[in-house]
Structure formats: C-alpha cells, structure tokens
Amino acid sequence: MDEVLRWTDAVGQAELVRSGAVSAGELLDAGRDRIQAIDPLLHCIVAHMDPATDPGEQAAAQFPGVPFLVKDLALEIAGVPFTEGSRWLKDNVSAHDQELARRYRQAGLVILGKTNTAEFGLSPHCEPALHGPTRNPWNLALSTSGSSGGSAAAVASGMVPMAHGNDLGGSLRYPAAWCGVFGFKPTRGRVPMGPEYGDVASGLAVEHALTRSVRDSAALLDATAGPSQGDPYWAPPIERPFLQEVAQPPGKLRIAATATPNSGQHVHPDYVRVFEETVDMLSGLGHSVHEAHPEPLGRPGHQAVRNVYGGAVSWIEAYWTQRMGRRPEPGEIEPFTAANFERCRPVTASEYLLGMEELQRFSRRLAGFFEDFDVWLTPTVGWPPLPLGTLGGTEAEPLRGEKEAGRFLMFDGEYANFSGNPAMSVPLGVDSDGLPVGMSFLGRFGDEATLFRLAGQLERAAPWANRKPAALARALSPSSS
C-alpha cells in the first residue's frame, strides 16, 4: 500500500497527476488497492463499482483519477444497487444518475463504490441489519455515528481522501466528529438534489462530503455547487471560489461559544477541555469570543420538530411504498424503522406545515442572533463514541437507540438544517483515550466563505492531518495476526 498517496488529500493527488508525477490510472489503482486492504476490516463499502471512464480521459478535470465514494442514500447512480441500508430495498437498482453524481464525474472523480448508512438515514449510527456495522478506525469496537458513517470511516482510514455524505439533522457532522475528519454542511440549495428530489423535508437535507483537509471540501464544493434546472431553492451567489477562501485570513470574528446543552445532559470532561482549548486558541488568533447561544426552540419549537421530522419519516415510507410497488414484508425493515413509521403516520399535512412555519419563525430569530455574531461554536457532540450495537433498536425495545443517542447528541446540530445555514465539524482535539473530538461552527445563511476562512486558519494553527488511527494501523500490521 502506497502510504504517501494514502494520506495525500484530493487536491494534492490531482496536483501529482497534473505534474506528471503519477498518472490518473496509477492514482486509481492505488485507491483500489487501499480499499481491498482496508475495507474488510471496517466494512465501509456496500456496493463496489468499476469505473466506466478511462481516468486518462479526465486529465484536464479538477480531480483527475482521484478515487471517490458515495453514500448509499439519496444519491443514485444508474445500474448500481440503491438500498438505503434497508432489506426492503435489497434488490433495488437505480435507473438514472443524480445530477450530483454527474458533477462528480465531470470533476474527474472516479466513483469506486457506495458507502454504508443507517436504514434510510434515520439513526445517528451506521449499523444497518442489511449490510452490518461499519467500524470506527480509531477503535474497531466503537460506532462511527451516522448516518454518513461509512463515508467518514473510509476517509479517516485513508481509503479515499474524501467521500460523499448528506445531512438532514447532523449526519455529515456527527460522524466527522467521531471519526476525526472535516465535515461541512453547505447552505440550503448550494448543491442540487435532482432530478429525483426537489428537496427533502422542505430543504432540511443537504448534500456534500467528508474530507481530511479543508481545501478538499472547498474545492469539491466549487466543483458541485450551483442550482440545477427547476430547483426549489437557490443559495446566494458567492464572491470568489471557496478554494480561494481557505487561504484568506478570516479577520477578527465575533464568536459566540457555549458548551452547556439546553437539555442539561452531562458533557464528557475531555470534550469540555477541547472546547476550552478551542476558545483559547480562537482568542489567541485575535477573535472575540463570548459565552452566548441562540434563543432555544422552546416548547412550540420542539413540537414543530416532532411534526416536521415525523412528516419526513412518513414521507419516506410512502415514497418507497410507491416506488417499490408494495409495502414492506415482515422482517424487511428494522424494529426502530417499523416503530418510527408507526408513530409518524398520524402526522397530518397541516401539522407538518404548521411545524415548518414554526421552524421558519425560529430561523428568523436565529438570523437575528447572527447580526451580533459571525459564528456559533459548540462541541459537535458531547460524548465519545459508543460501542457498536448500542444505537440500534431491538424487537423488545425498538426505540432504545433513540434514547441512547441522547447521551451524545446535545448541541442542537439540527439548527443548521432548520435554518439552512452552513455548519462544520472540525477535528480540533483528542480525548484521554486518543479518540478524535470535533468542534462545531454554525455560520450565517449563505456565508460558507467565513467558515472556510476560519477552518483554514484553524487547520494551520492546529493541524490534524498527521493524526492517524493507530487501532487500524495495528489491525493492518502483519504482526497483529
């Protein structure tokens, strides 16, 4: 396994091809070799793909021959299995390409497979009954979180420099935090979801990626951003390419910061420590950091969340029943999914729309908060990775995983989805066991530029590229067998 290429980011790999140091074909072969060596240990990939395009034909593209993976949720590729982690969909094969897949290929990326996800992306883990669990490369007995856990683990392990994911309530950022990679959620409407979807849950869901470097995330967003014909949401235009923003100084930012959850959960002491270290670093970089947080959702807001997410879950069941031409048979969906479908069916259209209106009112209040602050900082999650098997439901206790998730989901990551604002999880520390700790930054609507500038500054001040998962290295070592 070529260790230099393994830990070279996508922009760096592309530069090697353009300089003639390696060919696009060699880049692709190295990616295949890494997947063959590493994936049996982690189980990130649920469908392998052979590229139809000679990578040599992509030499002038942004990422010529760079190996890439896409999450098996929402993003369809013609002729490839599309299961969304469900036994109900185990024989389903996509008949078309999503626009985003086309843009990936146009950028020169070579898609080598689809990554594991929770069933329909409904849980913050990556352990579907259909495919089995993805293992965290930092400790193979622990969860990756989710639902983009397969992509996060693939990037953290060095299989690929970046991989697609999506985010309806934190599904890019939570696995980024537990796997020690950079997870960026763009502004609503920045990346298209068509032609199959105009939006998902009235714009709560977005598409982008998990990466090891900040510049990879920015460059990939440059390659994929922009509305597609008929899109219901259009993000504000940008002043310059996001990749250029990464090297720009962010100036003196007004940063609100809190490590106190609204719901009173206990934050792990190591996470408080990394948060405090981050505050000190930000202050040392010249930023103005204040203990502050947005106005909480309140009781009407929490009821709105239940109805909006309930409506989205009900839509998932109705959508796939229509598309598959039948309802799921007994045993074809997991206990948590079955219980979730049952409790969400009673949500009416009026309740869903009333809930969306309440969340839109909250979003306007959040916009007012950002008149005083540029960025809001919290830990991404509040607790280290949980053991595999903890976050799934059982026949006896189908909603067990939902209760267990409250142990680490405590910092209102879904605010970014309600408002459409950009957000990111940055791997800024480690806990006492050497596991990654991510910090979350929420920005203004349409202002990815400030987040990329800040992320670039943090990456230079506290680089994380040299932190590699030792547990995976031991598992890969011949002496460990």
Active site residues: 71, 147, 171
CA distances from 107 to 207, 327, 358 (A): 16, 38, 39
**What's the gap between Cα 392 and its chain centre?**
19
Question: Tokens representing 462?
Answer: 């506290």
Alpha-carbon distance of 5 to 224, in angstroms, equals 24
Q: 187 in helix, strand or coil?
A: coil
Q: 33 in helix, strand or coil?
A: helix
Nearest Cα residue to 178 out of 213, 138, 150, 215: 138
Is the CB of residue 141 less than 8 Å from the CB of residue 98?
A: no
Q: How many CA atoms lie within 13 A of 397 on its CB side?
A: 9
Q: 144 in helix, strand or coil?
A: coil
Sequence-distant (6+) residues with CB within 8 A of 302 are none
**What pairs with residue 312 in β-bridges?**
none
Taking CA 93 as the corner, what is the angle to CA 89 and CA 99, rounded to the nearest 5 degrees? 115
Q: 437 in helix, strand or coil?
A: strand
Give the phi and the psi of residue 69 in degrees, each rounded to 5. Answer: -130, 150
Classify the phi-psi angles of 453: left when phi > 0, otherwise alpha if psi is within -120 to 50, otherwise beta.
Answer: alpha
CA dihedral 284, 288, 292, 293 (to 10 degrees): -90
Question: Tokens representing 279?
Answer: 């505050």
**What's the gap between Cα 44 and its chain centre?**
14
Is the CB of residue 387 less than 8 Å from the CB of residue 140?
A: no
DSSP string across 318-360: HHHHHHHTSPPPTTSS-HHHHHHHHHHTT--HHHHHHHHHHHH
CA distances from 189 to 167, 225, 301, 397 (A): 13, 9, 23, 38
**What pairs with residue 406 in β-bridges?**
none
Alpha-carbon distance of 395 to 461, in angstroms, equals 48
**What's the gap between Cα 68 and its chain centre?**
15
